[in-house]
Structure 1
Amino acid sequence: MASVDMERGGVAKNRGNYTSSYGMSTPYYYETRERQWISWVIPIFVISNIAVFIVAMFINNCPNQEHRTGKCVVRFLHRFSFQPLRENPLFGPSASTLEKLGALEWKKVVHGHQGWRLVTCIWLHAGVIHLLANMLSLIFIGIRLEQQFGFVRIGLIYLISGFGGSVLSSLFIRNNISVGASGALFGLLGAMLSELITNWTIYSNKAAALITLLIIIVINLAVGILPHVDNFAHIGGFLTGFLLGFILLVRPQFGWIERHNLPPAAQVKSKHKAYQYIFLLISLVLLLAGFVVGLVMLFRGKNGNDRCHWCHYLSCVPTSRWNCGN
């Protein structure tokens, strides 16, 4: 994944007749300087994912399985060596180890009453390649967002988006396990898009930023149609993050006004525009309704493919080179 750089107008701070960086002409004092947060929750997420992968490799202990699965890869790592590449080409543990540690599996979630797998699967990765790709994307995207919006909002978007991706994945994928933080990462991308839309008036280079971001999103979703990639987790995470962006990443559109000693005519009753409140309300309703419907369908054992006969193409498109059924 990649991020996109979107510039805002500079700091507006002055007195007298003045047009602020938000395009408002006023004789009064405006302060539009934002707080720059220190990013710490994203680094913690990165460290946690790496730590969980190390634990998974320790528990996997490939040499103990070598007589059954073939020769381990990078054997000098001893119990941390990887499964044979024909079993796991991503340089990681076995599927049984991932399943034991909390990989997402429909039967265990629905019939085994192990709903906690909807969360634990977000912290597991299939291999070094999988882990490296996701963690680099998380650092590239997440740190910038956390510096702008703080750890609470970005942390919530990451976790809730990952959960939303797990729910949608469980509704459509029944015969395989699923692991990875991709759903949470796509949630951050979705939040970036909705943040750009809801705070449209305060950005410069709007069209370029929007087009660039859309291209990045489309490319990443297109990769998800390859086999062995859970694109439903990507889509579910993206949609969840997109709605959360309208709720959690709303910026004031009129600047921060120093209200003391100002005449009544200069008082701004709301720092936000009406369309921002409309987006927030609609997104909140859709998000709650989506989670309620999705969870009810999931724990009733409903198969999403029965309601949408073409949706399986969103996760894998069969060609002469691969079979999506595997």
Structure 2
Amino acid sequence: METVIFSKHGTPLTEAEENHYSALRLEKLEPTELARVRTRLYCSGCFEKAAYVARSSNGRAPHCRSVHQLIDGTICPERSPESVKVSSEGYESVQELKNENDVYVVDFNFGQDETQVNPIKPKGDENTTKKKRGSYRKFGEASGEGKSEWSRRLSTLLKTLKEDPKFAQSSAHIKVLGVQKPIRNVFYNTDKFSSYMDKLIPGKFPTFFWGSIWNAHEGVDGTVWLNTGEDCLDLSIKIPKDVFRVFKAKCKLSNDEPCKELNGSWFLLYGWYNKSLKTGKPYLSLLEPHPELITMRFSS
């Protein structure tokens, strides 16, 4: 992406030309000025939240990126040519997740070391009772029959949610950890958190949360916090230190400023809604401390 817009008040459409920045111009800013500007950058084409990625130690040039939106049905002109074209023709991207009963089935373990994620055993499946904990290949579908309909895991679901948010209101069913529910009952868009926050009960049940990341920072104990807004009491996502280390490699983030590379990205996780007893801050945590339970979507 060639040009981004700095907008202090989140109104990029009305900003003057002087607030339009190239990556090279951003690189030349003083550190304090860059810190002020970089958290309020937007794509100059579709006005989605954007992120500045600094020059890396291995020589990669500074650049900006965003998860672009369609403009009147066409691709944002600021989107890089190598980016994947967005389709708005339905839910083809998740068809491979369906099983023979026409139910979407999510597998967090596909393609991973089978001992990485400890599954919750499905009830009523006699074939799973004698297996050791951690030995199941598939969550909720422990038959061992290996069609690859679950191979895309959370990444496929996030791609579909981003391209067509109406998928989250679908009456179709999804099966996770052996439990089957209507899709419309299990996906919460964090960009609309204020509209349903009073209805959530902390720690009551795990579910899917998805939305955009405003910024991210690392705490003193190494925990990484993905923030959905700029206020300290806005909803955040808590990522344990060890999980983020694996997640950083998985997402190919740099070692320079990996947290800042997450600005403007989108996430999907399966986990818990929580609320700090001390401060009242709402936050999300993964079902278990494993990187397979969260995915991110970037664009250029």
Which is strand-richer, 1 or 2?
A: 2
TM-score past 0.5 threshold? no
Which is helix-richer, 1 or 2?
A: 1
Shorter-normalised TM-score: what interval?
under 0.3
- Higher relative contact order by CA 8 Å / sep ≥ 6: 1 or 2? 1
Q: TM-score of the superposition, structure 2-length normalised?
A: 0.27
